[in-house]
Amino acid sequence: MSYWRLRSAALALLLLAGSVAGCSSGNAPERVEIRIHYSHFDPSALTVPHGVAITFVLINEDPIDHEWMLGDAAFHERHRHGTEAHHGLRANEVSIAALTTVETTLTFGAPRSLQYICHLPGHEAYGMVGTLTIT
C-alpha cells in the first residue's frame, strides 16, 4: 500500500471516529465511573453539570457488598438509621453486590453539593464517603 493510500485510510478512520464521538456526545448520558476498592470510593470527589443525564458506573472491586447512596445531609441522616437491607428501586440509592458493577442514571436540576456514602454498618466511619458537586 502506498503512502498516499495509507494516509487516506488513516484520514477516513479519523473522520469515522469523530462522527461516532459526535453521536455519543449527543443525547446519550455522560458516564462517570466510580470504583470501590478496599471500602473507599475512587474518586471521592466529582463535579458534574446540572441538566444533563449522568450515568454513574459503580464498580465494586471488593469481595463484600457496598452501597452508593446519594443525597443531602437530611437524606443521609435518615439512612444512617434506616432498616432497608437492600436498595435498588431509586436511582440515587444503589446496592452493589460484591465484585459486581451497577449503573444508575440521574439528572440534576440545579447546582448544589451532595454526598455519596455507603451506609452499611461501619462503612461510613471507615471512609466510604464522597462529594458530588453539581455546577
Partner 1 sequence: MRRLAAPFSAILVTLALAAPTLACGGLIGPNGAVNLLRTTTLAGYHDGVEHYVTAFEFAGGGGAFGSIIPLPGIPTSVVRGGDWTLQRLVRETDPQPLFFDALGTAAASPRVIVLQQVRIDALDITILKGGGAEIGVWAKDHGFSLPPDAPEVLDFYANRSPIFMAASFDADAAAARGQAIGDGTPVHLTIPTDNPWVPLRILALGKSAAETVQADVYLLTDDRPALLPAPGSKLAEGGLALTHSDAASPQLLSDLRSDKGMEWVPQSAWLSKIAIGATAANLRFDLAIDASGGGKPSLRDAGFAPFGPLPAPPAWNPLWVMLLVISLAVPLGGGWLLGVALRNAGGGRPLAG
Binding letters toward partner 1, positions 52-91, x by CB under 8 A = ---------xxxxx--------------------------
Q: Shortest approach of partner 1 to residue 129 CB, angstroms? A: 12
Of 7-15, 44-52, 109-117, 123-131: span binding partner 1 (CB under 8 A): 123-131
Contacts of 38 (CB under 8 A, 6+ apart): 62
Residue number, 62 or 103, with CB nearest to partner 1:
62
Could you say whether residue 26 binds partner 1 (CB under 8 A)? Answer: no
Among 1, 2, 22, 38, binds partner 1 (CB under 8 A): 38
Number of amino acids touching partner 1 (CB under 8 A): 18
